Amino acid sequence: MTAAVLFDLDGTFADTAPDLGRAVNAMRSARGLPPVALADTRRVTSLGARGLLGVGFGIAPGDTNYDAMRAEFLDIYENNLCCDTTLFPGMAELVDRLEQRTIVWGIVTNKAERLARPLLQQLGYDRRAACIIGGDTTAHMKPHPAPLLAAARALNVAPRNCLYVGDDQRDIEAGRAAAMRTVAVRFGYLNGSHPENWGADAIVSTPAEIENLI
């Protein structure tokens, strides 16, 4: 019995790639560099600042100036959270159907709460989500199960009665480690990986298909 559905945020619940890509290109513009195509930044969106700065500037954690550039990136993004971000097609209808069926839903993301909460507020879903668990809510981030277990506790739902939906292998690993049923979405960012290899209980191409799994 599925009593709760939990969603990853970036690449699953909402298409945040345009605004994250914009932040990288704002940094490039300030340095006199041409913009990076959205198609190039989009595929690594689920990796957050690490992936986007990697594509935009070829740097990684531990490199000189990485920490400063990460802070700059997050500051730009925080001030432009929801310019072009939208829910994925069919997601709003799915949430409506879950609420009509009195199935609670929430967000479990590696995005920091200070970004996730205002983004969901601007999208109009912060008060509708039964929980919002960010990457800094617990001591661990996905693929560790701690954030998902925290969500289950917040909802007062046993993990085995939760369905976790994500677009990255880390999401599926976290869900399995938390003893939840897992769903991989083909419409997300995928980070160049193939959902068939993640060990998810189900793979869907549209949000509408998720309701059929409940």
6-28: per-residue pLDDT in tens? 999 999 999 999 999 999 999 99
Active site residue 8: yes
* Average pLDDT rounded to a whole number, residues 34-48: 93
Ranges of H-type helices in 90-214: 91-100, 113-123, 146-155, 169-177, 208-211
**Residue 66 reports pLDDT greater than 90:** yes
Domain extents for the chain?
Answer: 4-15+85-211, 17-78
Beginning with the edge strand found earlier in the chain, give each strand of the sheet holding 132-133 in spatial order: 132-133, 104-108, 4-7, 162-166, 181-185, 202-204
pLDDT in tens, 69-119: 999 999 999 999 999 999 999 999 999 999 999 999 999 999 999 999 999
Q: What is the pTM of this model?
A: 0.96
Q: Please give the Cα distance from 164 to 183 (Å, whole number).
A: 6
pLDDT of residue 192: 82
Spell out the CATH class of 4-15+85-211.
Answer: alpha beta
Residue in 8, 19, 168, 171 annotated catalytic: 8
Cα radius of gyration rounded to whole Å, the chain: 17
Q: What is the pLDDT of residues 113-150, one digit of tens each?
A: 999 999 999 999 999 999 999 999 999 999 999 999 99
- What is the rounded distance in angstroms from the CA atom of residue 45 to the CA atom of residue 138? 22
In the chain, the DSSP E strands lie at: 4-7, 14-15, 86-87, 104-108, 132-133, 162-166, 181-185, 202-204
Is 10 considered catalytic here?
yes
**Which listed residue (10, 15, 19, 168) is catalytic?**
10
pLDDT above 90 (res 167):
yes
